[in-house]
Amino acid sequence: MSEKSKYSIEFTIQSSPQLLFQYLSTPSGLSEWFADNVNSRGEEFTFIWDDSEETAKLLSKKANEKVRFQWDDDEGEDYYFEFFIQVDDITKDVSLIVTDFTTEDEMEESRMLWDNAIADLKQILGST
């Protein structure tokens, strides 16, 4: 298996951290923008797109701040994907930092997938 590299992308989101967190941490919220459908049983989340299905484990969650998942394919590895909500102390601007791992040859495609997914999320939130 190819070595994966960690990368992060920061997006400015016009939303309250509480509302944003609901879209990042709940099956109903994730199915609005990330996958066609999302089901969960405890800490196991099943993401469904068209005719494919992927399962991820919820590794950690901190209310209104971060959610970290790990795809079943990456079990036993230090790979995960994480949504981190950062609020600027002075301006109160809300940023969403997405951290993920991918191989070098898939980096550009992976970043584009996140750009498109977060664009969908922003549209749902009414954030420009």
90 vs 74: CA distance, rounded Å:
38
Read off the tokens for 12.
């400015």
* Main-chain phi, psi angles of 3, to 5 degrees: -70, 135
Question: What pTM value is reported for the model?
Answer: 0.94
CA distance 42 to 21: 18
Beta bridge partners, 36, equal none
* Domain architecture of the chain: domains with CATH: 5-125 (3.30.530.20)
Could you identify the residue written with the tokens 């993401």?
47
Q: What percent of the chain has pLDDT over 70?
A: 98
> Per 3-state DSSP, what percentage of the chain is helix, strand, and coil (rounded to 5)?
30, 40, 25
How confident is the model over 65-104, as pLDDT tens digits? 999 999 999 999 999 999 999 999 999 999 999 999 999 9
- Give tens-digit pLDDT for 1-46: 579 999 999 999 999 999 999 999 999 999 999 999 999 999 999 9
